[in-house]
Amino acid sequence: MNTEFSKIFDTIHQANDADLQHQFFRAASNYARTRAEWYFLSPSERAETNDRRTALHNTCIDACNILSRSMAQAKEGNAWRAELGEDRKVIGDFACYVAYRLGVMMR
């Protein structure tokens, strides 16, 4: 999966629409941060924050889809979106991968 994620990240990182690219990267990072914090939450805290986590996940998926459509319109290709698929868990995993790659790039 990391090889697939790496290729998808590299394609997105080369997108010409920097604003949409950044919107997706920001949404992915926000979701990944919340998902990582999930580890430390008690069951009651998870219940309290579950709606927020889901909303961040939805925002991430929406930003991914918007970027994909923009790249297709710009003839940059968006085969990466089909490769990523529709499984919410996989998209969430990719969001975590995006946050990881951005973090390593900025060291």
Domain ranges, ordered by start, for the chain: 2-105
> Tell me: the pLDDT tens digits for 56-86?
999 999 999 999 999 999 999 899 999 999 9
Predicted TM-score (pTM) of the model is: 0.94
- Which one-letter DSSP state was computed for residue 104? H
Sign of the CA dihedral with 21 first, then 8, 27, and 57 last:
positive
Distance CA 28, CA 56 (A): 8
Distance CA 103, CA 58 (A): 22
Of 63, 66, 67, 69, nearest to 31 (Cα)? 63
